[in-house]
Amino acid sequence: MSKTGKFLQDQEEFDIQQEQADIHPFSQVKPQKRRKYIIIFLFLLTVVVYSGIGYLIFRDQSKNDTSPEVSKNETKTEQLSEKLSNKISIPHFDIKLSGIEEAVRNSIKHFDITEVSYFKKKENKLARYKYYMLKAKENEIKGRYIDAISFYKKAWEINKKNPEILYRLSLLHFKIGYYKGAEKYVKQFLKIQKKDLKGLLLLSKSYEKMGNLKKAKIVLEEAYFLYPENKDVLENLGKLYEKENALIVAKDIYKILSDMGYLEGKLGLARVYEKLNDKKSALKIYREIYQDPNIPENLRTKIENKIISLE
């Protein structure tokens, strides 16, 4: 083809392309370039779509994060309970307690409550104190003095405002023959109850049992100063002087007790007269005692033998 023919052919192709370009803007772009633009457009469209989806997910997640953890757990628990309730049929029990309570009350009447079960119900100091005092008194009455001492000690550890516990401890130690322990606790008792008569008498007897007559006499003389007309003080003081062979002093004390009408005073006075070899005075007192209709028969028999021996 000549150059002129070739030029005309190219010019004709150009005019055709120009007409297509007027119809659509991509018509004059080559197929490879058009495919490239389409891919870019789809990529951008994909980015926009996924960005929107990501925003929606992030917004929902933020709302869920602001709700309390308890709500999640409750929701899960409710869902689980609902599922279980649909699967499991739970029967309903209607229990009448009146009969059971009556049976329990009746069984308690015949049941010995132990220390362990007691403390399960009463976990406080006042309850323990009352329990220990109750058990101490029960054991003391039954003659179980060692156990009673143990419970009294426990009660004292809880409540040190009740000095009577100290006196009971002293008296029980005296009864079991542990006079040093009796002295210890009665001294503590007298620090609180300084002028208590029963405490002074118990301390004097403890000293006497330990062979310390001097201290026993000092305590009794103090008691006599505080309680000069008390029968127990006069009798114990008279016996103590009699044991020390202070017969004249003992006679005067027994005379006071005898004049007050006490049998113990007359018997003591008669004994002292015997020891002083005043048989006539002793015999006179013994006869007065023998004629008393209120004396026990066993004592009457002893007095009768005394009268026979002195006549």
Q: Give the pLDDT confidence of 19-50 residue by residue, as tens digits.
A: 444 444 444 444 455 566 667 767 777 776 66
Question: In whole angstroms, what is the distance from residue 243 CA to residue 211 CA?
Answer: 11
Could you say which of 1.25.10.10, 1.25.40.10, 3.40.50.720, 2.40.30.10 is the CATH number of the domain covering 245-311?
Answer: 1.25.40.10
Question: In whole angstroms, what is the distance from residue 182 CA to residue 168 CA?
Answer: 9
Please report the pLDDT score of residue 32 as a whole number.
Answer: 53
Q: What is the DSSP string of 107-140?
A: HHHT----HHHHHHH--SHHHHHHHHHHHHHHHH
Q: Supply the pTM of this predicted model.
A: 0.58
Question: In whole angstroms, what is the distance from residue 265 CA to residue 238 CA?
Answer: 9
pLDDT digits 0-9 by tens, 176-216: 999 999 999 999 999 999 999 999 999 999 999 999 999 99
pLDDT digits 0-9 by tens, 168-185: 999 999 999 999 999 999
Question: In whole angstroms, what is the distance from residue 139 CA to residue 284 CA?
Answer: 47
